[in-house]
Structure 1
Amino acid sequence: MKNYYGSLCTTMYEILHPVAPKDELDFYLSYANNASTILEPLCGSGRFLVPFMENGLDIQGFDLSKEMLDELLIKKPLAKVFHKSIDDFDTNKKYDYIFITSGSMSLFTTEEEVFRVLVKMKKLLTKNGKFVFAVASTVNNQVPHDDYVEDCSVETDKGYKLILKSKSYFKEDSKVLYNPSIYELYEGDKLIQSEEMDFRIRLYDIGELDKLILKAGFTDTKLYSSFDKSLPIDENSKTLLYECK
């Protein structure tokens, strides 16, 4: 399944990214000051949702990965989260603030998918609500490698070795970066579990999303290239941060 975070992927993610980077967390928290209802689609294992809860904020979340949500609920058993995709998530509730972190909007790789997400977020917002998200820019285009290479190796809490191997190639016509990946879990030299992931993200040029955002019904959009909003937006911008209302 494309971009599905399975059990081994979730284990490695938790080891490598146990908490949110402070600058990124502060950026998303800054929009919650006056928000009474908050939604985090693609909340994953909760590295943003959990600190939002700990700040006393009324937040809900959802994710397609049951494995990720299980990790979140270990940390916060009372978290209000749902095992849903964006298409399946349905509620009559409206939110003052919706955010998608860590460039996860780039996981939607076609214009049709992205537009559908934008329309859904607009529908879920209150009249003056804000939708804040990030995408990766084309500056992130990686050097391709056709063979699987070891990207990372970590030790689990049970003393097993978990290895990530991946390939990488970029399609100029679709601006999609493909990283087919294999996670391998070893007990000593014995392979005891493996898991494949068809990881791909859509990369963007500056301004490329503007028409889709407007078409989805957002009329006021601001663009940043850093979490402190200080860096200029130019050809060196690796992250594009959108604030839409």
Structure 2
Amino acid sequence: MTQSLPHTTGTLSGDLRALGLSAGDTVLLHSSKSSIGYVAGGVQAILQAFLDVLGEAGTLVVPTHTPDNSDPADWSNPPVPEAWRTIIRDQGPGFDPERTPSRWMGVLPETVRTWPGTIRTGHPHVSFAALGARAAEVTATHPLEDGFGEKSPLGAVYRLDGKVLLLGCGYGSNTSLHLAEARQDQPPTTTFGSSVRGPDGTGHWTTWTGLRTDTSDFETLGADYDATGIPRRGRVGNAPTRLMSQRDLVHYATDWMRTHRA
């Protein structure tokens, strides 16, 4: 039985270029490392492949969200006793862009977050990190109340005419669809809470009103978008991958939601 060879930085770079990623691109990456298969050098080699393809003029953007830094009253998987909630809100160390790891985003975004030169936004719930030539522009603003809107990194990627790469994952992970939600005529809002590390080094509970997101129809929306033939599809390593213009995706999704959502 013939056994396939390991993937390498060089082979992954070739896969990314064949898919349409180019030097100088700004790309928002959503990823599942395990779907790529065995890579000589592991996650460091994967990230290096992106940096080699994007070059000095390119920029890599990843979500570094911390959904666990939220109001414990809303937790259900698992819930916590009511008596714990005040302690969790008041005694947590608080979000710090340089200290707080992302949660449930995967090992590749975490590697980007800690890579020399990366800039991370200060949003305590839905931060993004950027590495490369336009990193400062992508992360320049990220207000609490506009986690996924025009003043967020998603809006910055849109203005830079960036791309979205779904590596081994589906549209349910595609945060750019939240920008389409924010562009609806009367987007629903809700109250959020997070602990934020203050200048005194302790956590402070902070609340704000922001977009109430709904990912329940993202895969259906994505299947309809795929059917247009616009996203470029291929493989990076073993991972089924899609590459698309973020602007085109957001325009399509904005119209789709107006038609399909009540």
Q: Which protein has greater RCO, CA pairs closer than 8 Å, 6+ apart?
A: 2
Indicate the structure with greater helix content.
2
Indicate the structure with greater strand content.
1
